[in-house]
Amino acid sequence: MTGLEAGFLVLLLIVLSILALILLLLWTRCRSELKQLQKRFSAVINIEAEVQKARKALERVDVKIRSLKSDYKEKRQVYERLLEQVAIFDEQISFAEFGIYKPHFDFGDSERYKEAINAVRDEQKAFVKANAAVDVKTKWTVEGSKAKGQTMANRAVRLALRAFNAEADAAIANTRWNNAEAMIRRIENARTQIDKANASLNIEITEHYLELKLKELRLTHEYREQLKVERDERVEATRLEREEKRLEREAEEARREEEKYEAMLAKARAEAGVVTSEEQAAKIAELERQLAVAHEKSERAQAMSERTKTGFVYIISNVGSFGEGVVKIGLTRRLELPADRVRELGDASVPFLFDTHAMIYSEEAPALEAALHAEFHDRRINAANTRKEFFRATLQEVEESVRRLAPGADFHKDIEAQEFRETMARRKELLEAELLANQLAFPEEI
């Protein structure tokens, strides 16, 4: 082998060594990067493991959602119960929630109501005295002593009665026309809460004692309402008496005026028998005219004082105060300005003015009014007090009765209710604005 060949061979070995070293470095680097990539995308590479992991995460989310829904449902129930509790103590809410109180008794006389109230209070005292107001269902012993157990139970009974009676008496004292049903709920709720507080001692207020308290509340409320009715009756009787006296006074004044002109005319005629002149004849003619006017006025006043049955039967409604399908059928003896009576009814007793559907003149007004009342007797809103002349009937039904009982009478079915409709429009605007500002409407579920 020549020297040249040996040199070439050495050079070739060097180049091969360098290439081998380069390849080794590249292989090492690629292997390192491959391991990093495998580590980085190991979850993607292992698809099954990734799917299982995702499923477990989804199950955890589902559990959380179910828990949130259940928790929301419970909290919403608590919220609704709290709203009910608030309604019991809020008169405006309670009136909307529980509605109008329906009478339970028909005594028709305040004295009979007083007697019934005293009787139910005596019955309550008898129950307490007989240890029948509170039921102690467990015979307790304290430190092995039945006597100490009885003492403990008696103390708990006294506390329960004191708390219940105080709450019931407060409810009775604060009962009004617009919260009577709410006050009934308040007493029932007080009994429930006191029983819960005494659940560990197994002590409960008896159902009969609760009913006695509710009966006292209803009697007291209706007694107060009866006093209002009797007061109104006295006011109406006084008004009628004053009206009759006024008519009698006007009739007497008209009679005296007629007598005055009769005397003046007799005197003028006597004078005319002595001296006759055109001036005297004119004077007699004027006196005769004035006498005729006075006579007519006297007869009209006398007829008005004697004909107490003459008047107007009116039919009115008030959608804003009583709602649709409620009418009032009443009577006024004001022959000059009968509409004044309707305006008086709408001045202070109700928040909105009445709409007049009929104003029927009749010489037998009380009979016509009674006939119309009889037509809708079973639909009286206040069945306990017939002076409350409100009936649940449509205007179409009332018009048919009017056509039958008073043919030819005018009847208007239009319901203007201007003030009420304007008020409702303004309230709607305010409510919409309030809901937008502070929306508290919760969905049934989430």
Q: What is the pLDDT of residues 171-212, one digit of tens each?
A: 999 888 778 888 999 999 999 999 999 999 999 999 999 999
Helix, strand, or coil (residue 131): coil
Q: Does residue 295 have a pLDDT over 60?
A: yes
State the greatest distance between any 2 C-alpha atoms of the chain, in Å, as a whole number: 200
Q: Indicate the number of domains in the chain.
A: 2
Q: Tens of pLDDT along 385-440?
A: 777 889 999 999 999 999 999 988 889 887 778 788 888 878 777 777 776 666 55
Residue type, 226: Q
Domain of 351, in residue numbers: 311-431
In a domain, 163, yes or no: no
pLDDT at 80: 75
Does residue 327 sit in the same domain as residue 391?
yes
Residues 6+ apart with CB under 8 A from 408: none
Whether the CB-CB separation of 357 and 419 falls below 8 Å is answered with no
Higher pLDDT, 262 or 155: 155
Q: What is the mean pLDDT of the chain?
A: 81
- Residue 408: Cβ-neighbour burial (10 angstroms; 0-12, 13-18, 19+): exposed
Domain boundary among 288, 306, 324: 306
Whether the per-residue pLDDT at 94 is higher than 50: the answer is no
pLDDT at 101 over 60: no
pLDDT band with cut points at 50, 70 and 90 for residue 277: low
User: Do 392 and 292 reside in the same domain of the chain?
Assistant: no
Structure tokens at 239: 């008004």
Checking if the pLDDT of 121 tops 90, the result is yes
pTM: 0.46
Is residue 329 included in any domain, yes or no?
yes
Return the closest-CA partner of residue 326 out of 391, 411, 417. Answer: 391
Q: What own/partner pairs with CB < 8 Å and gap ≥ 24 does 139-145 have?
A: 140/201
Query: How far is CA 78 from each of CA 65, 81, 325, 347, rounded to the nearest angstrom?
Result: 20, 5, 37, 44
Residues pairing with 312 in the sheet: 332, 361
How far apart (Å, rounded) are the C-alpha atoms in residues 170 and 21? 103
Q: Is 170's pLDDT higher than 70? A: yes
- Residue 158 within any structural domain of the chain: no
Tell me, yes or no, whether 299 and 346 share the same domain. no
Contact 110, 226 (CB under 8 A): yes
Same domain, 279 and 363: no
Are the C-beta atoms of 393 and 325 separated by less than 8 Å?
A: yes
Report CA 213 to chain centroid distance, whole Å. Answer: 23
218 token code pair: 């209803």
Task: From 279, 306, 333, give the residue that closes a domain.
Answer: 306
Give domain status of residue 266, yes or no.
yes
For residues 378 and 425, membership in a common domain is answered with yes
Residues 408 and 354 in one domain: yes
Model pLDDT for residues 322-370, shown as the tens digit of each residue: 888 999 999 887 766 677 777 777 776 788 888 889 999 888 888 899 9
Angle at Cα 356 formed by Cα 350 and Cα 358, nearest 5°? 140
pLDDT of residue 288: 74
* Residue 440 belongs to some domain of the structure: no
Distance CA 410, CA 408 (A): 6
Q: Is residue 77 part of a domain?
A: no
Residue 344 lies in a domain: yes
Q: Which of 261, 280, 306 is the last residue of a domain?
A: 306
Q: Please name every residue paired with 359 in a beta bridge, in sequence order, or none if there are none.
A: 314
Residues 345 and 409 in one domain: yes
Pair 296, 369 in one domain:
no
Residues 265 and 369 in one domain: no
Within a domain: 214: no
Same domain, yes or no, for 417 and 335?
yes
- Same domain? For 328 and 425 the reply is yes
Q: What is the DSSP string of 368-433?
A: HHHHHHHHTGGGBS-SS-TTS-EEE--HHHHHHHHHHHSTT---------HHHHHHHHHHHHHHHH
Same domain, 300 and 315: no
